[in-house]
């Protein structure tokens, strides 16, 4: 497989490299199949429940809408239904990350064993429930980050033109940061890094994490497709950590 020394281009190459790694190593398949099956099962159930509730909410909202909006009712229904599906898809994706955390940790460990010497790999700490608990706390801290950046972006939008540009760039940067945090979390978590340290790993290595994070964020940002993409993103993030981010 062709490689390059250009950091950003190298970052772009990790997703296809991870796909090749997963496809050609059968011992990794169980660690991909298990979270996929769990995500599809739980995600499917959540989707049915949440979409049903969301659809009822759309009906209530339209029933209370002013009469002059009646003519636009069909269009509003389509727009609101699309918004509900998008939000449900993103929520289900986040739930999938938390539930799949133990499997992604095991997948990352296997990839580290294939890439690093045994002396460079710390022993796993905790069990299944511990991994899920720490993943849940990790999600809460990322939510705090999102709310903080979101408040700044909202304030920036008060400034005409320049504010919108700043908000757009800030939103894109946040999406890249979040997907990189997810992708690098299994090896970083095994080394018990704190949340700020994990953010520092991403920010201090932007010359390579940016090239990886942009396509990964695009995959993670597609509702329901993200359920299928997360194992690939995690595998690619572990490869990138082992080869370029490990100190």
Q: Counting Cβ atoms within 10 Å, is residue 182 exposed (0-12), middle (13-18) or buried (19+)? A: buried
Query: Which domain, by its residues, includes 179?
Result: 7-245
Full-model pTM: 0.80
SS3 245: helix
**Any domain includes 194:** yes
Residue 2's pLDDT band (cuts 50, 70, 90): very low
Question: What pLDDT is recorded for position 226?
Answer: 84
* Cα 45 to Cα 27: distance, rounded to the nearest angstrom: 29
pLDDT > 90? residue 180: yes
**Any domain includes 211:** yes
Q: In sequence order, which residues have a C-beta less than 8 Å from that of residue 67 and are 6 or more positions away?
A: none
The total number of structural domains that make up the chain: 1
Contact yes or no for 77/62 (Cβ under 8 A): yes
**Any domain includes 203:** yes
* Cα 58 to Cα 81: distance, rounded to the nearest angstrom: 7
pLDDT > 90? residue 183: yes
> How large a percentage of the chain has pLDDT more than 90?
29
Structure tokens at 88: 């449900």
Tallying the residues shown for the chain, one arrives at 247
**Any domain includes 2:** no
Q: Of residues 139 and 20, which shows the higher confidence score?
A: 20
């Amino acid at each position: 497989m062709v490689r390059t020394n250009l950091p950003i281009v190298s970052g772009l190459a990790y997703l296809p490299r991870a796909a090749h790694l997963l496809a050609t190593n059968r011992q990794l398949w169980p660690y991909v199949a298990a979270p996929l099956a769990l995500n599809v099962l739980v995600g499917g159930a959540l989707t049915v429940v949440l979409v049903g509730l969301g659809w009822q909410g759309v009906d209530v909202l339209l029933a209370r809408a002013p009469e002059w909006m009646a003519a636009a009712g069909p269009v509003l229904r389509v727009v609101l239904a699309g918004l509900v599906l998008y939000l449900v898809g993103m929520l289900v994706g986040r739930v999938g990350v938390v539930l799949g955390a133990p499997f992604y940790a095991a997948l990352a460990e296997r990839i580290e064993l294939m890439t690093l010497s045994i002396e460079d790999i710390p022993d796993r700490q905790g069990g299944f429930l511990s991994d899920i608990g720490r993943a849940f706390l990790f999600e809460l801290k990322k939510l705090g980050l999102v709310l903080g950046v979101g408040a700044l972006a909202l304030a920036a939008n008060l400034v005409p033109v320049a504010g919108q540009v700043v908000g757009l760039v800030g939103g894109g940067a946040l999406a890249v940061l979040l997907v990189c945090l997810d992708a690098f979390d299994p090896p970083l978590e095994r080394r018990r890094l704190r949340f700020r340290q994990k953010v520092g790993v991403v920010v201090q290595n932007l010359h390579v994490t940016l090239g990886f994070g942009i396509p990964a964020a695009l995959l993670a940002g597609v509702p329901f497709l993200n359920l299928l993409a997360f194992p690939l993103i995690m595998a690619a993030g572990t490869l990138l950590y082992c080869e370029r981010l490990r100190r």
